[in-house]
Amino acid sequence: MTRQEFHQRCIPYFSADEIQAFWLWFQHLASSEQVEDCMQRLLAGEPIQYIFGTAPFHRYEYRVGPGCLIPRPETEELVEYILQHPQIQALQHWLDIGTGSGCIALTLVQERPWQLLAVDCSEAALTHARNNRARLNTEQQKRLELRCSDFLKWTEWPSGVQALVSNPPYISSDETLDSRVVDWEPSTALFAENDPLIFYKKMAQLCLNRPHELWLFLEINQQLPEATEAVFKTIGCSTKKIADLSGNLRFIEAYWPGF
């Protein structure tokens, strides 16, 4: 298919920028049958990352597919923030809550000599995370434990954990999302039951029983930066709101001092 034909078929559905980006993905396809198959899926609304089974994240490519959230560029910014943070590089034991494809945990374990425990309640998502872990070297694989677990049922933090990172579900049911997101990506990855702050409140509740310090690095709902920060401030954490590259307050760093 020529670039012009590709453009003409896509133009009723996508912006010029999207078509340009999609065209680059299609350059990897060898046969015209593959091109046609992928084209049909694209025009049916399937995300390009699911069609090709891969998504870029930081300096890596991770396998993705239905059942796990497609890693977002904003989440890369959270990882980069952690990697550059001057006070936490010596912390060894990290937790990733809601790991999905594993993009955050896998990146940290490749970039730093840390031990990671990454949990998710979705076996479908963990299948992708396990596939991604299998592509690491043996030493890195040993430092990353993947576990199926419902965080909202936890009664305490896992022993030894010193810091956590999480991009939990934080969309409320009345927010409108692009149909390509809602129709294709898992709702358990997006929507936070009846309360967009439920995961943050659970983290704060667990901190209250914890005598040791804990660092938390969290992606948050950009509509709720103050309310999310208040969850941690009210229990005695020091907090910092962090803007993403578009200027939205998208992340929170919280430090629980212990007691």
Ligand X SMILES: C[S@@+](CC[C@H](N)C(=O)[O-])C[C@H]1O[C@@H](n2cnc3c(N)ncnc32)[C@H](O)[C@@H]1O
Which residues contact ligand X by CB under 6 A? 69, 71, 75, 98-101, 103-104, 119-122, 125, 150-152, 167-169, 188-189
Judged by CB, which is closer to ligand X: 107, or 162?
A: 107
Contact 207, 237 (CB under 8 A): yes
SS3 117: strand
212 Cβ neighbours under 8 A, 6+ residues apart = 162, 258
Contact 89, 81 (CB under 8 A): no
Residue type, 97: I
Min dist. Cβ of residue 106 to ligand X (A) = 10
CA dihedral (210, 219, 166, 57) in degrees, to 10, reads -150
Judged by CB, which is closer to ligand X: 152, or 224?
A: 152
Judged by CB, which is closer to ligand X: 77, or 120?
A: 120
Judged by CB, which is closer to ligand X: 29, or 152?
A: 152
Min dist. Cβ of residue 114 to ligand X (A) = 16
Give 116: exposed, middle or buried? Use CB within 10 Å, 0-12, 13-18, 19+: buried
Min dist. Cβ of residue 41 to ligand X (A) = 21
Question: Where would I find the beta strands (DSSP E) of the chain?
Answer: 54-57, 60-63, 93-97, 115-120, 144-148, 163-166, 214-219, 238-243, 249-256
Min dist. Cβ of residue 150 to ligand X (A) = 4
Min dist. Cβ of residue 100 to ligand X (A) = 3
Min dist. Cβ of residue 105 to ligand X (A) = 8
For residue 81, give the nearest of 56, 111, 54 by alpha carbon: 111
163 forms beta bridges with 94, 215
Judged by CB, which is closer to ligand X: 19, or 253?
A: 253
Judged by CB, which is closer to ligand X: 10, or 228?
A: 228
